[in-house]
Amino acid sequence: MKKLGILLVVIATLFSCESGPQKKILKSANGRVNSLLVVIKNSEWQGEIGDELRKILGEPVVGLPQPEAQFVVSQIPPENFGSMFRGSRSVLQVGIGDENAFNTNTDVYAAPQKIITITGTSNEEIIAQIKENSSELVSVFKNADLVAVQRRILKKFWNPTKIKTFEKQGYSIKIPQSYTKVEDDGDIVWYRYHLNGGESMEIFTYTVPITSEDDLNGNNIVTIRNEFGKKYVPGQIEGSHMITEEAYTPHIFEINFKEKKAFETRGKWEVKGVFMAGPFLSYTVVDKPNNRLVIAEGLTYAPGVNKRDYMFEIEAILKTLVID
């Protein structure tokens, strides 16, 4: 009787294994964010196809004090794309094929992973595919990296319902618990992450009422942030405060932020009267039902070092903004 029971269990197990879907077990992807593995023949990488790819992948990130490319790129020929490299987080495969195509696949050899494959029937057709899909090429990898950063840094975040300003104003973002509170007075939120020495990353959120068409069209963004800096972000000497860098106009892009009209602003900040400066990124969201602009901004102060990855982390945090 005991043997019969064991046999029935074995049969049931085999039946369930055969009838159920087979779930593929993937290893964890490796590689840093903003890094990209390009799989392409050496001759093609060193020729016109490689030139076109470098033009796109090496384009400087907008708003940084020093030029920094969007991606750190590594290249290998297809015959070297074995198990050692297949676990890479972001992979771009390019080469001659039977059709002209641009395809994106997710979690092929590892997870999380994005693989974009570009093929063409000739070098000219490959270049045409690259040019035609350049924006999507960048956004696929960038969006995947943003999700990866959010997953890493937001394992623990401050409870938005415990932040006074968020509860009062009816909006919130997820701020990692590695950031410490500087201000939360019901009108503004200010959190800081300490880097080396006196260097830091800062997160601000606040709202302002909509008073004109210029507010709706993004024409007052610099004025609004300068007024905020004067009121809330003093410098080290009397009368000094944070402003938008006066020498250069920031880059302002109209975007769709979770189905709301918004403006993404990238530029440089400085402290008036003090030798301090760095990059900033802000999202100004038009909240028409409440007749206001909801502003989430982050900046970095880290002189002498590259800041692309710092600002990328700030972008990941700011994009968790939710308006009730």
Contact 142, 63 (CB under 8 A): no
Least confident of 3-7, 32-36, 102-106: 3-7
174 pLDDT more than 90: yes
The whole-number pLDDT of residue 33 equals 94
Nearest alpha carbon to residue 172 among 29, 12, 324: 324
Locate 254 and state its tokens: 């109209």
DSSP state of 220: T
Fold of 27-152: Chitobiase; domain 2 (3.30.379)
4 pLDDT more than 70: no
The whole-number pLDDT of residue 142 equals 97
The whole-number pLDDT of residue 80 equals 97
Contact 236, 267 (CB under 8 A): no
The three-state secondary structure class of 52 is helix
Mean pLDDT (the chain, rounded): 92
Residue type, 321: L
CATH class, domain 156-323, is: alpha beta
Q: In which residue are the tokens 């909240």 written?
A: 287
With cut-offs at 50, 70 and 90, classify the pLDDT of residue 17.
Answer: very low
Per residue in 21-78, pLDDT tens?
556 788 999 999 999 999 999 999 999 999 999 999 999 999 999 999 999 999 999 9
Return the domain boundaries, the chain.
27-152, 156-323
Helix, strand, coil fractions of the chain, as percent rounded to 5: 30, 35, 35
Contact 205, 165 (CB under 8 A): yes
Per residue in 225-254, pLDDT tens?
999 999 999 988 888 899 999 988 999 999
Q: Rounded CA gap, 177 and 146, in Å? A: 18
